[in-house]
């Protein structure tokens, strides 16, 4: 089903208006909120009150056993005839290793601004699958009022971690910090069923390791060239066997032969006068399935006077495990990355460490937090993060310094319309929105267009589209609808996950409507378009006549 652009209205509360005290400046702790009257899982959250042995001060004395039929549980957690302050809750269900901070939880005033920006709420429409609902749930778990189990875990598994809520929150609630602490709690304390364990074992033991991923690339290339992929997709048997495995197959692009053995040089000299000495990350997925993006990045940096240093032993940045609560794995990967770049900075410091993938960049800038349990590594992580620059961010600094002196030429014989797709971890995570647009606008003949719901997640979200394919499918359809509605001839995407997700939905449209032009719109990284312009080459685009 194709999603519409209509933003659903938040469900009406039968009680007091949501956040009714916010206007007076009062903060209502999450546990005192009235909004749960709309929650379809309210009974699940009430069960601990009905089943657990809660103690009350005199004159009632201790109560045990089943309270149902004796006392009524109100929506705010109180019992009829018993003051809420008399209730002594169970201990927190969180373990002691960095539970979500109560002070951050209490900073939420339940205003509801986050609802319309939240992709999972837009698709599912349930309060517990919104940032506000999840914050309430964290509070309930922290105060022993809800269990840390499969039911509660499902509401956090549905979160894409896009951070759109942090951009619109008037109270500046640190939902990103809460989520970063919440997901490791789930991984440590909630057992997964065997299907989830199988998929997660595959994902987290393959994708964050470039050498392992590279080892399977020839097999995947052969799988495509022999027509096996087409047979699998046409029969649909893989989706019946495992929707997650089918999602992995669906986002797999046509693999380039050069991606089978992507050997990057260790050093690329600057063209002309050297102005900067920068390090560059290659990414784990991007170097194999989108190697042309890395090649373009090297070309642009070199053309603008950068000596580019590429540590040969660099691995993954750790974004995929970090975003899914695989804490120990993310820490090990982060340490390995720091060591790799320390090795090329022994003689001379780098001016910057460049990354061209939005999700990776956000994680690289969080190394200090990821490594917070080890003071030495926390300091090294923070120092590393201070050097990290997204490629657009860095080039904007080059422009500001007056060092962007490359000659930009048209990349199409006629004016070219381009729609820029905001990647969530660039827009919301790193607060970078203007630089990519400014760089694209510098290319002669390029006309930028803006889509509806530009800040809505495309559904990729790291490996979310592999773990939660149903939600990701609807979001991907809506994103492509909005991008194509601009009538742009080219889509510019600054993140490999977004690119693969968008390309997937464009391919499916092409199959459903083979005579239509809309499904044939190409997707480029902005840095590729800049590279074409610096080299004076035209890009391949679909003509308006088809």
Q: What is the pLDDT of residue 472?
A: 94
Q: pLDDT tens digits, residue range 281-316?
A: 999 888 888 999 999 999 999 999 999 999 988 999
The tokens describing 74, both together, are 């109100």
Instruction: Decide: 184 and 97 in contact? Cβ < 8 Å.
Output: yes
Taking CB atoms within 8 Å and a gap of at least 24, the contacts of 219-223 are 220/252, 220/255, 221/255, 221/257, 221/260
More confident residue, 403 or 80: 403
Q: What is the pLDDT of residue 432?
A: 95
- Average pLDDT, integer, range 320-346: 93
Q: CA-to-CA distance for 25 and 33, rounded, in angstroms?
A: 15
The residues pairing with 446 across neighbouring beta strands, listed in sequence order, are: 416
Q: CA-to-CA distance for 121 and 154, rounded, in angstroms?
A: 13
CA-based torsion, 223, 225, 229, 234: positive or negative: negative
- Average pLDDT, integer, range 5-21: 36
The tokens describing 5, both together, are 């652009």
Q: What is the DSSP letter of 306?
A: E
Percent of the chain exceeding pLDDT 90 equals 67
Three-state secondary structure of 146-189: CCCCHHHHHHHHCCCCCCHHHHHCCCCCCHHHHHHHHHHHHHHH
The tokens describing 229, both together, are 């992929």
Please state whether beta strands 446-449 and 523-524 pair in parallel, antiparallel, or not at all (unpaired).
unpaired
- Average pLDDT, integer, range 384-390: 97
> Does position 67 have pLDDT exceeding 60, yes or no?
no
- Average pLDDT, integer, range 470-482: 95
> Does position 271 have pLDDT exceeding 70, yes or no?
yes
- Average pLDDT, integer, range 114-130: 94
- Provide the b/e sequence for 454-481 (b: ≥16 CB within 10 Å): ebbbbbbbbbbbbbbbebbbbbbbbbbb
> Does position 43 have pLDDT exceeding 60, yes or no?
no
CA-based torsion, 366, 292, 483, 410: positive or negative: positive
Return phi, psi of residue 144, to 5°: 70, 20
Return phi, psi of residue 306, to 5°: -105, 130
Q: CA-to-CA distance for 530 and 411, rounded, in angstroms?
A: 9
Furthest CA-CA distance within the chain: 86
Q: What is the pLDDT of residue 168?
A: 94
- Average pLDDT, integer, range 110-133: 94
pLDDT band at 26 (very low <50, low <70, confident <90, very high): very low
Q: What is the pLDDT of residue 90?
A: 67
pLDDT band at 455 (very low <50, low <70, confident <90, very high): very high
More confident residue, 516 or 343: 343
> Does position 139 have pLDDT exceeding 50, yes or no?
yes
pLDDT band at 268 (very low <50, low <70, confident <90, very high): very high
pLDDT band at 38 (very low <50, low <70, confident <90, very high): very low
> Does position 543 have pLDDT exceeding 70, yes or no?
no
Query: 236 in the Ramachandran plot: left (φ > 0), alpha (ψ -120 to 50) or beta?
Result: left
What 3-state DSSP class applies to 82? strand
Sorted by where each begins, the domain ranges of the chain are 22-189, 195-258, 262-400, 416-535
Three-state secondary structure of 233-291: HHHCHHHHHCHHHHHHHHHCCCCCHHHHCCCCCCEECCCCCCCEEEEECCCCCHHHHCH
Q: Locate tokens 């709420």: which residue? A: 121
The residues pairing with 389 across neighbouring beta strands, listed in sequence order, are: 354
Weakest mean pLDDT among 9-18, 240-249, 291-300: 9-18
The tokens describing 180, both together, are 């970063």
> Does position 412 have pLDDT exceeding 70, yes or no?
yes
Residue 360 CA, distance from chain mean position: 10
pLDDT band at 183 (very low <50, low <70, confident <90, very high): very high
Q: What is the pLDDT of residue 47?
A: 40
Q: What is the pLDDT of residue 122?
A: 93
Q: What is the pLDDT of residue 50?
A: 33
Residue 367 CA, distance from chain mean position: 16
- Average pLDDT, integer, range 219-234: 90
> Does position 49 have pLDDT exceeding 50, yes or no?
no
Q: Please, how many CA atoms are within 13 Å of residue 389, restricted to the half-sphere of its CB?
A: 21
Instruction: Decide: 494 and 395 in contact? Cβ < 8 Å.
Output: no
The strands making up 267-268's β-sheet, listed across from edge to edge, are 267-268, 306-309, 276-280, 352-355, 388-390
Q: pLDDT tens digits, residue range 142-163?
A: 999 999 999 999 999 999 999 9
Q: Locate tokens 């890009």: which residue? A: 539
Weakest mean pLDDT among 84-88, 130-134, 408-412, 469-473: 84-88
Instruction: Decide: 539 and 446 in contact? Cβ < 8 Å.
Output: no
Q: CA-to-CA distance for 90 and 150, rounded, in angstroms?
A: 19
pLDDT band at 329 (very low <50, low <70, confident <90, very high): very high
pLDDT band at 542 (very low <50, low <70, confident <90, very high): low
> Does position 424 have pLDDT exceeding 50, yes or no?
yes
The tokens describing 309, both together, are 């240093």
- Average pLDDT, integer, range 83-108: 80
What 3-state DSSP class applies to 451? coil
Q: What is the pLDDT of residue 259?
A: 62
Taking CB atoms within 8 Å and a gap of at least 24, the contacts of 76-81 are 76/31, 76/32, 76/33, 76/34, 77/31, 77/49, 77/145, 79/49
Q: What is the pLDDT of residue 58?
A: 32
- Average pLDDT, integer, range 361-387: 95
Q: What is the CATH number of domain 22-189?
A: 1.10.1060
Instruction: Decide: 448 and 440 in contact? Cβ < 8 Å.
Output: yes
More confident residue, 13 or 196: 196
Q: CA-to-CA distance for 300 and 532, rounded, in angstroms?
A: 9
Total residues found in the chain within this entry? 546
Percent of the chain exceeding pLDDT 70 equals 80
Q: CA-to-CA distance for 352 and 57, rounded, in angstroms?
A: 61
> Does position 506 have pLDDT exceeding 50, yes or no?
yes
Weakest mean pLDDT among 254-268, 303-317, 484-498: 254-268
Q: What is the CATH number of domain 416-535?
A: 3.40.50
> Does position 206 have pLDDT exceeding 60, yes or no?
yes
Q: What is the pLDDT of residue 330?
A: 95
């Amino acid at each position: 089903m194709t999603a519409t652009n209509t933003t659903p209205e938040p469900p009406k509360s039968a009680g007091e208006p949501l956040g009714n005290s916010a206007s007076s400046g009062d903060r209502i702790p999450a546990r005192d909120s009235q909004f749960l009257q709309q929650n379809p899982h309210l009974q699940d959250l009430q069960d601990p009150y009905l089943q657990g042995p809660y103690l009350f001060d005199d004159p009632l004395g201790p109560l045990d056993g089943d309270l149902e039929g004796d006392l009524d549980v109100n929506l705010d957690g109180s019992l009829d005839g018993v003051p809420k302050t008399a209730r002594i809750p169970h201990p927190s269900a969180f373990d002691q290793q960095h539970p979500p901070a109560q002070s951050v939880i209490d900073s939420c005033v339940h205003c509801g601004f986050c609802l319309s920006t939240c992709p999972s709420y837009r698709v599912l429409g349930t309060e517990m699958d919104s940032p506000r609902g999840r914050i309430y749930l964290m509070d309930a778990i922290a105060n022993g009022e809800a269990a840390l189990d499969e039911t509660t875990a499902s509401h956090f598994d549905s979160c894409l971690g896009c951070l759109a809520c942090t951009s619109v929150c008037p109270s500046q609630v640190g939902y990103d910090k809460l989520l970063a602490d919440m997901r490791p709690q789930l991984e440590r304390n909630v057992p997964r069923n065997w299907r989830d364990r199988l998929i997660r074992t595959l994902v987290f033991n393959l994708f964050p390791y470039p050498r392992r991923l590279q080892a399977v690339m020839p097999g995947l290339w052969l799988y495509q060239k022999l027509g096996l992929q087409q047979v699998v997709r046409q029969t649909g048997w893989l989706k019946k066997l495992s929707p997650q495995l089918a999602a992995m197959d669906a986002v797999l692009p046509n693999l380039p032969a050069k991606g089978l053995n992507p050997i990057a040089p260790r050093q690329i000299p600057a063209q002309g006068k050297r102005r900067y000495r920068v390090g560059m990350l290659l990414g784990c997925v991007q170097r194999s399935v989108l190697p042309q993006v890395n090649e373009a990045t090297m070309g642009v940096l070199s053309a603008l006077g950068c000596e580019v240093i590429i540590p040969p032993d660099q691995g993954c940045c750790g974004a995929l495990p970090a975003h899914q609560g695989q804490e120990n794995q993310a820490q090990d990967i982060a340490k390995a990355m720091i060591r790799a770049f320390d090795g090329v900075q022994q003689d001379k410091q780098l001016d910057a460490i460049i990354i061209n993938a939005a999700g990776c960049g956000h994680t690289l800038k969080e190394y200090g937090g990821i490594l917070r349990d080890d003071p030495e590594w926390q300091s090294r992580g923070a120092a590393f993060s201070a050097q990290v620059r997204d490629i657009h961010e860095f080039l904007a600094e080059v422009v500001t310094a007056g060092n962007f002196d490359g000659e930009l030429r048209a990349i199409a014989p006629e004016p070219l319309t381009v729609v820029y797709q905001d990647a969530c971890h660039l827009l919301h995570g790193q607060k970078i929105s203007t630089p990519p647009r400014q760089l694209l606008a510098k290319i002669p003949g390029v006309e930028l267009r803006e889509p509806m719901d530009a800040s809505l997640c495309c559904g990729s979200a790291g490996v979310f589209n592999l773990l939660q394919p149903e939600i990701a499918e609807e979001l991907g359809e809506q994103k492509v609808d909005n991008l194509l509605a601009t009538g742009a001839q080219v889509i510019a995407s600054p993140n490999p996950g977004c690119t693969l997700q968008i390309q997937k939905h464009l391919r499916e449209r092409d199959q459903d409507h083979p005579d239509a032009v809309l499904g044939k719109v190409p997707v480029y990284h902005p840095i590729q378009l800049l590279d074409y312009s610096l080299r004076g080459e035209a890009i391949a685009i679909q003509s308006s006549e088809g």
